[in-house]
Amino acid sequence: MQRLRRKMFVMVWLCVAGSIALVFAILSFLPLTPFAEEVQERTTSFALDTASDLLARQGMLAVQDVISAFANADPSIRLSVKAVGAPIECAVSVSDTLVRRVVNSGKCYEVTAVPDDAYIWRQWPKLMPWASALLAAAGAAFWLANYFTGPVEQLRQGLGELARGNFGARIGEEVDRKRDEVAALAHDFDATASRLQEFQEVQQRLFHDVSHELRSPLSRLQAGLGVLRQNPARLNDMLERLEREIQRMDDLVGEILTLAKLAAAADQPLNRQRLDLIDLVREIVDDSTFEGASNQVAVEYDGEESFVTSVDGELIYRAVENVVRNAVK
């Protein structure tokens, strides 16, 4: 689950960070002030021309004051002055637009615009909103990743509990506050777990009831076999008793099978059809009379002549037949 959380975090954060980077790039390469670079170049050129003219007329002390004044007015304008040699040096043309050469007091001086090394540091306050936006995007991505992967992790843990046989596991209360499809999925999980828990309880109760019901005929069978071992002369009498006990066990197994069929059919859609229930009952009565003839048992029907309705005939037949056959036996 950590891998899914990391993937979701990275995807969301990259999308937001990419959008912020795109906006930042557009604003950086397309200055809001028209001709900003040209204005900066002209300002620097003006400062160089002013300083070089002042140096040629009034000397080094005057130009130092001007350089300080320019630096105070605009920190991006930084000028430096140095002597480069004899006046003949000033006759050499300089291609660099950020350099001026003038002669003063028999020396050649060079006035240079120094690159602004502190430009990045001065731009840092402008970068703070973008950095804050990236951090906020990271926080939002982390929250979204936890929001979506948290319920999935809880669902995984719940399924693990079901796999270990703990059908009492529930996760609906933990994610119910979300009130979205994730919460609906959690409630579906709880409903499934409740259904499985009911099946488990029914199965355990069925095992208990079956074991209890089978214990009595089995005990009587064991007792009958013990009597036969002690007195084989009572074989005929004991065989009849043993047959009755075996028949009871057979009836019990039949009832269990019928219950299993009815439970399986309960999960299937009903195959409804219009039929006369009285005809169905009469058919069961005839079959039961034939089956009970050996025991001198007769089954009769006394009731309505007809009752037509829409039912699942097979299920109704099984239910009524099971009751009547138990009565006949």
> Which pLDDT belongs to residue 294?
67
CA angle 38/39/43 to nearest 5° reads 115
Averaged over 274-290, what is the pLDDT? 82
Assigned domain for 313 exists: yes
DSSP 268: S
> Which pLDDT belongs to residue 35?
56
Give the span between the Cα atoms of 79 and 51, in whole angstroms.
9
Assigned domain for 147 exists: no
Averaged over 112-133, what is the pLDDT? 64
Assigned domain for 49 exists: yes
Q: Report residue 144's pLDDT band, with 50, 70 and 90 as the boundaries.
A: confident
Say if residue 47 is exposed, middle or buried (CB neighbours under 10 Å; 0-12, 13-18, 19+).
Answer: buried
User: Is a pLDDT exceeding 80 seen at residue 266?
Assistant: no
User: Is a pLDDT exceeding 80 seen at residue 113?
Assistant: yes
Assigned domain for 55 exists: yes
Q: Report residue 139's pLDDT band, with 50, 70 and 90 as the boundaries.
A: confident
DSSP 309: E
Three-class secondary structure of residue 96 per DSSP: coil
User: Is a pLDDT exceeding 80 seen at residue 235?
Assistant: no
Query: Range of 58's domain?
Result: 31-116
Residue in this structure with the two tokens 């300080």, named with its chain if needed: 68
Mean pLDDT of the chain: 75
Q: Report residue 179's pLDDT band, with 50, 70 and 90 as the boundaries.
A: low
The residue type of 245 is E
Of 95, 116, 137, which residue sits at a domain end?
116
Averaged over 149-173, what is the pLDDT? 77
Antiparallel, parallel or unpaired: β 107-113 and 79-85: antiparallel
> Which pLDDT belongs to residue 180?
64
More confident residue, 100 or 132: 100
User: Is a pLDDT exceeding 70 seen at residue 44?
Assistant: yes
Assigned domain for 127 exists: no
- Structure tokens that stand for 132 in this block: 């804050």
Assigned domain for 276 exists: yes
> Which pLDDT belongs to residue 261?
66
Give the number of other Cβ atoms within 10 Å of residue 193's Cβ: 21
Q: Report residue 238's pLDDT band, with 50, 70 and 90 as the boundaries.
A: confident
> Which pLDDT belongs to residue 265?
60
- Count of residues in the chain: 329
Three-class secondary structure of residue 171 per DSSP: coil
Q: Report residue 176's pLDDT band, with 50, 70 and 90 as the boundaries.
A: low
Give the span between the Cα atoms of 189 and 191, in whole angstroms.
5
Assigned domain for 95 exists: yes
> Which pLDDT belongs to residue 123?
54
> Which pLDDT belongs to residue 136?
77
User: Is a pLDDT exceeding 60 seen at residue 146?
Assistant: yes
Assigned domain for 21 exists: no
**Number of domains observed in the structure of the chain:** 2
Of 76, 101, 116, which residue sits at a domain end?
116
Under 8 Å between Cβ of 125 and 118: no
> Which pLDDT belongs to residue 37?
63
Q: Report residue 320's pLDDT band, with 50, 70 and 90 as the boundaries.
A: confident
More confident residue, 276 or 240: 276
More confident residue, 5 or 252: 252
Of 90, 116, 142, which residue sits at a domain end?
116
